[in-house]
Amino acid sequence: MGVFALSALSSGVLATIDTCPSDSPLSCQTDNEASCCFESPGGSLLQTQFWDTDPVTGPSDSWTIHGLWPDNCDGSYQENCDASRAYTNITEILEAQGRTELLEYMNTYWQSDDESNEEFWEHEWATHGTCINTIDPSCYTDYTAQEEVGDFFDKTVSLFKTLDSYTALADAGITPSSSKTYKLSDIEDALAAIHDGFAPYVYCSSKELSQLYYYFNLEGNAIDGTYVAAERLETSNCPSSGIKYLPKSS
> Which residue numbers are catalytic?
66, 124, 128
**28, 43 in Cβ contact below 8 A?**
yes
Task: Please count the other Cβ atoms lying within 10 Å of the Cβ belonging to residue 202.
Answer: 21
CA distance 131 to 21: 22
Q: Which residues are CB-contacts of 86 (< 8 A; sequence separation ≥ 6)?
A: 80, 122, 125, 126, 130
- C-alpha closest to that of 51 among 60, 63, 59, 61: 63
Q: Which residues are CB-contacts of 15 (< 8 A; sequence separation ≥ 6)?
A: none
